[in-house]
Amino acid sequence: MGSEIHKTVFTEEDYQAFEKAWLSELDFVQNLFEQGSALFSESKRIGYELETCILDAEYQPAPVNQKILAELDTTFLPLNLQTMTWK
Protein backbone atom coordinates (compact mmCIF):
# COMPACT_ATOMS: atom_id res chain seq x y z
CA MET A 1 0.00 0.00 0.00
CA GLY A 2 1.15 3.51 -0.70
CA SER A 3 1.47 6.49 1.55
CA GLU A 4 -1.14 9.17 2.02
CA ILE A 5 -0.36 12.40 0.18
CA HIS A 6 -1.29 15.45 2.21
CA LYS A 7 -0.42 18.22 -0.22
CA THR A 8 -1.92 19.39 -3.48
CA VAL A 9 0.87 21.57 -4.85
CA PHE A 10 4.02 19.88 -6.11
CA THR A 11 7.41 21.10 -7.25
CA GLU A 12 9.25 20.01 -10.37
CA GLU A 13 11.50 17.98 -8.06
CA ASP A 14 8.41 16.18 -6.69
CA TYR A 15 7.36 15.23 -10.21
CA GLN A 16 10.87 14.07 -11.06
CA ALA A 17 11.06 11.95 -7.91
CA PHE A 18 7.65 10.44 -8.69
CA GLU A 19 8.68 9.63 -12.25
CA LYS A 20 11.95 8.05 -11.09
CA ALA A 21 10.16 5.87 -8.53
CA TRP A 22 7.46 4.91 -11.03
CA LEU A 23 9.96 3.93 -13.72
CA SER A 24 11.89 1.89 -11.16
CA GLU A 25 8.70 0.03 -10.26
CA LEU A 26 7.96 -0.65 -13.93
CA ASP A 27 11.49 -2.00 -14.42
CA PHE A 28 10.96 -4.34 -11.48
CA VAL A 29 7.70 -5.67 -12.91
CA GLN A 30 9.22 -6.06 -16.38
CA ASN A 31 12.04 -8.10 -14.84
CA LEU A 32 9.48 -10.38 -13.17
CA PHE A 33 7.74 -10.97 -16.49
CA GLU A 34 11.02 -11.58 -18.30
CA GLN A 35 12.00 -14.25 -15.75
CA GLY A 36 8.59 -15.86 -16.21
CA SER A 37 8.46 -19.57 -15.51
CA ALA A 38 12.06 -19.58 -14.28
CA LEU A 39 10.88 -17.55 -11.29
CA PHE A 40 7.39 -18.96 -10.70
CA SER A 41 5.86 -22.41 -10.70
CA GLU A 42 2.67 -24.07 -9.53
CA SER A 43 3.99 -23.84 -5.97
CA LYS A 44 5.43 -20.30 -6.18
CA ARG A 45 3.12 -17.48 -7.12
CA ILE A 46 2.68 -13.84 -6.27
CA GLY A 47 -0.11 -11.36 -6.59
CA TYR A 48 0.89 -7.96 -7.89
CA GLU A 49 -1.05 -4.79 -8.42
CA LEU A 50 0.41 -1.66 -9.90
CA GLU A 51 -1.66 1.44 -9.46
CA THR A 52 -0.98 4.39 -11.65
CA CYS A 53 -2.65 7.60 -12.70
CA ILE A 54 -3.44 8.49 -16.29
CA LEU A 55 -2.23 12.07 -16.61
CA ASP A 56 -1.93 14.58 -19.43
CA ALA A 57 1.14 16.69 -20.22
CA GLU A 58 0.18 19.15 -17.44
CA TYR A 59 -0.03 16.30 -14.88
CA GLN A 60 -3.81 16.57 -14.72
CA PRO A 61 -6.15 13.55 -14.90
CA ALA A 62 -6.60 12.50 -18.52
CA PRO A 63 -9.98 10.93 -19.38
CA VAL A 64 -8.55 8.48 -21.92
CA ASN A 65 -9.21 5.14 -20.21
CA GLN A 66 -11.66 3.98 -22.88
CA LYS A 67 -9.14 4.80 -25.64
CA ILE A 68 -6.43 2.84 -23.81
CA LEU A 69 -8.74 -0.14 -23.33
CA ALA A 70 -9.70 -0.11 -27.01
CA GLU A 71 -6.06 0.00 -28.12
CA LEU A 72 -4.97 -2.76 -25.73
CA ASP A 73 -7.99 -4.97 -26.46
CA THR A 74 -7.58 -7.12 -23.35
CA THR A 75 -9.76 -8.30 -20.49
CA PHE A 76 -6.83 -8.42 -18.06
CA LEU A 77 -7.21 -4.82 -16.91
CA PRO A 78 -9.23 -4.21 -13.76
CA LEU A 79 -12.87 -3.31 -13.83
CA ASN A 80 -12.29 0.12 -12.26
CA LEU A 81 -10.30 1.21 -15.35
CA GLN A 82 -13.06 -0.08 -17.58
CA THR A 83 -15.81 1.85 -15.80
CA MET A 84 -14.12 5.04 -14.56
CA THR A 85 -15.19 8.17 -16.39
CA TRP A 86 -14.58 11.85 -15.71
CA LYS A 87 -17.50 14.22 -15.80
pLDDT tens for 22-40 read: 899 888 888 877 877 666 6
Indicate if the pLDDT at residue 61 is higher than 80.
Answer: yes
Q: Which of 18, 17, 15, 49 is nearest to 32 (CA)?
A: 49
Q: What is the per-residue DSSP string for 12-73?
A: HHHHHHHHHHHHHHHHHHHHHHHHGGGT--SS-----------B-TTSSB---HHHHHHHH-
Is this model's pTM higher than 0.75 or not?
A: no
